[in-house]
A and B are shown apart, each in its own frame.
Chain A
Amino acid sequence: MHIWNIALSVVLQEEEEESTFLGTPFHRPGLAPEELFSIGPVHVTNSMVTTLLVVLVVSLLAIWLTRRMQLIPGGKQNFLEVVVEGLLGLVEGAAGRRVGRIILPLIGTLFVYILVANWFALLPGIGTIIYHGEHDVPLLRAPNSDYNMTLAMAFLTMVIVQVAGFAAHGFGHLKEYFPKVGRIYLVNPLNIIDEFARLLSLSVRLFANVFAGEVLVGVMLALSFVAVFAVIPVVVPAIFLALEVFFGAIQALVFALLSLIYISLAVGGHSEGHDAEHDDDRAAALTQEGAARS
Chain B
Amino acid sequence: MLDNSTVRALGLVSGIGFSIALFIGGGVVLGLYLDERLGTTPLFLIVGLLLGLGLAGYTMYRLTLFRSTQR
Contact = CB atoms under 8 A, between A and B. Distances in A.
Interface of A: 22, 94, 176, 201, 204-206, 208-209, 211-213, 215-216, 219-220, 223, 226, 243, 247, 250-251, 253-255, 257-258, 261, 264-265, 268-270, 277-288
B24 A216 contact: yes
Interface string B1-35: 11111101111111011101110110010000000
A209 B17 contact: yes
Contacts of A220: 49
A283 B17 contact: no
Contacts of B28: 212, 215-216, 219
B48 to A, nearest CB: 10
Contacts of A270: 3
Main SS of chain A's interface residues? helix
Contacts of A204: 21
Given A219-B49, A254-B13, A257-B13, A285 B68 contact: yes
Contact of A265 (B2, B45, B46): B2
B41 interface: yes
Contact of B5 (A206, A219, A279): A279
Interface residues of B, number: 32
A258 B13 CA distance: 7
Nearest to A246: B20
Nearest to A280: B71
Contact of A201 (B6, B14, B20, B42): B14
A219 B27 CA distance: 12
Contacts of A287: 9, 12-13, 16, 64
Contact of A205 (B1, B17, B45, B49): B17
Nearest to B67: A284
Contacts of B22: 208
